[in-house]
């Protein structure tokens, strides 16, 4: 990739397109490499066996069942793709960041870095919490419902789909502080508002925890409700920090509403290119 001035005001429109093309090429290359590494890990480190381990004590000496000759291939493909995109995501986010950063103000960059970095860490914690805590708590309760009249014959497709959906759901649930960060930076919520509605938030958190957790109605609900409540308190603290800095409020509103971020940055660069 040829060297392109990082000052958006010095770049003509064709240079913007040239940089965008190379950013896309680098991102696609990262996806290809990530998929290759993901499939290598799945094939050589028996990831499916690791994911199956929590349910094995409840299958009475059996394994999850494959009902079609291609089930193994489909599970390897889906697991490798999930892992590959996760591996490639930091490079993709870096390319997006490098393309947009000339069009962002300094305070906007700080907020965006905090949102992206915090979002990755919190999603990973939520996914780990789902696998290490919620899955072992849910499975005993679910298998008790079989009783003695039913023989558990769990298919691989249904079980791994259950695991992936739980990991994704809890990863997204742990993004609460990032959401509050964006809303607070956009002045749509205030720390006083979050403190005033704390009781309502607790009721909502317990209701959401009861809905998301398929295990015991008390223990599993509390196991999720307590971390979510702690994340809510962290969100209040984040909102206090954000509201202490009231400079550039209008710009912050525009940049941190995620669907408008790319459009806003592209429009700045296009306007600068048209003047060049």
> Is pLDDT above 80 for 171?
yes
Average pLDDT, the chain: 78
> Is pLDDT above 50 for 108?
yes
When pLDDT is cut at 50, 70 and 90, the band that residue 258 belongs to is: very low
CA atoms within 13 Å, Cβ hemisphere of 191: 13
When pLDDT is cut at 50, 70 and 90, the band that residue 245 belongs to is: low
> Is pLDDT above 80 for 149?
no
Asked whether the beta carbons of 232 and 176 are under 8 A apart, the reply is yes
Question: What is the tens place of the pLDDT at every residue in 7-62?
Answer: 444 556 667 778 888 889 999 999 999 999 999 998 888 888 888 888 888 887 77
> Is pLDDT above 60 for 274?
no
Written as one string, the DSSP assignment of 36-101 is HHHHHHHHHTTHHHHHHGGGGGGTTT--PBP-STTHHHHHHHHHHHHHHHHHHHHHHHHHHHHHHG
Instruction: Please name the residue that has the structure tokens 């870096």.
Output: 94
Report the range of poorest mean pLDDT among 50-59, 104-113, 221-230: 104-113
Report the range of poorest mean pLDDT among 59-63, 72-76, 84-88, 160-164: 59-63
> Is pLDDT above 70 for 255?
no
* pLDDT at site 251: 43
* pLDDT at site 271: 55
pTM > 0.85: yes or no: no
* pLDDT at site 194: 85
Backbone region of residue 134 per phi and psi (left: phi > 0; alpha: psi in -120 to 50; beta: other values): alpha
Share of the chain above pLDDT 90, in %: 7
* pLDDT at site 33: 95
> Is pLDDT above 60 for 247?
no
* pLDDT at site 248: 45
């Amino acid at each position: 990739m040829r060297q392109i001035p990082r000052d958006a005001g010095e770049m003509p429109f064709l240079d913007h397109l040239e940089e965008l093309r190379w950013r896309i090429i680098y991102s696609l290359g990262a996806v290809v490499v990530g998929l290759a590494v993901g499939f290598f890990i799945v094939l050589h480190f028996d990831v499916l066996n690791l994911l199956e381990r929590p349910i094995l004590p409840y299958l009475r000496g059996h394994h999850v069942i494959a009902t079609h000759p291609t089930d193994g291939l489909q599970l390897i493909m889906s697991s490798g793709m999930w892992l590959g995109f996760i591996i490639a995501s930091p490079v993709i986010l870096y390319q997006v960041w490098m393309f947009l950063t000339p069009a962002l103000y300094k305070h906007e960059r700080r907020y965006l870095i905090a949102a992206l970095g915090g979002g990755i860490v919190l999603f990973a914690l939520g996914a780990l919490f789902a696998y290490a805590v919620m899955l072992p708590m849910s499975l005993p309760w679910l298998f008790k419902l079989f009783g003695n009249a039913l023989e558990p014959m769990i298919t691989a497709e249904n079980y791994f789909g259950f695991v992936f959906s739980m990991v994704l759901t809890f990863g997204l649930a742990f993004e609460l502080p990032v959401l509050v960060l964006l809303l607070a930076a956009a002045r749509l919520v205030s720390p006083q508002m979050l403190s005033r509605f704390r009781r309502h938030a607790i009721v909502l958190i317990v209701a959401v925890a009861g809905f998301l957790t398929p295990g015991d109605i008390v223990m599993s609900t509390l196991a999720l409700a307590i971390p979510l409540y702690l994340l809510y308190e962290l969100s209040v603290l984040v909102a206090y920090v954000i509201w202490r800095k009231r400079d550039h409020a209008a710009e912050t509103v525009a940049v941190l509403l995620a669907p408008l971020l790319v459009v806003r940055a592209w429009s700045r660069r296009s306007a600068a290119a048209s003047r060049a």
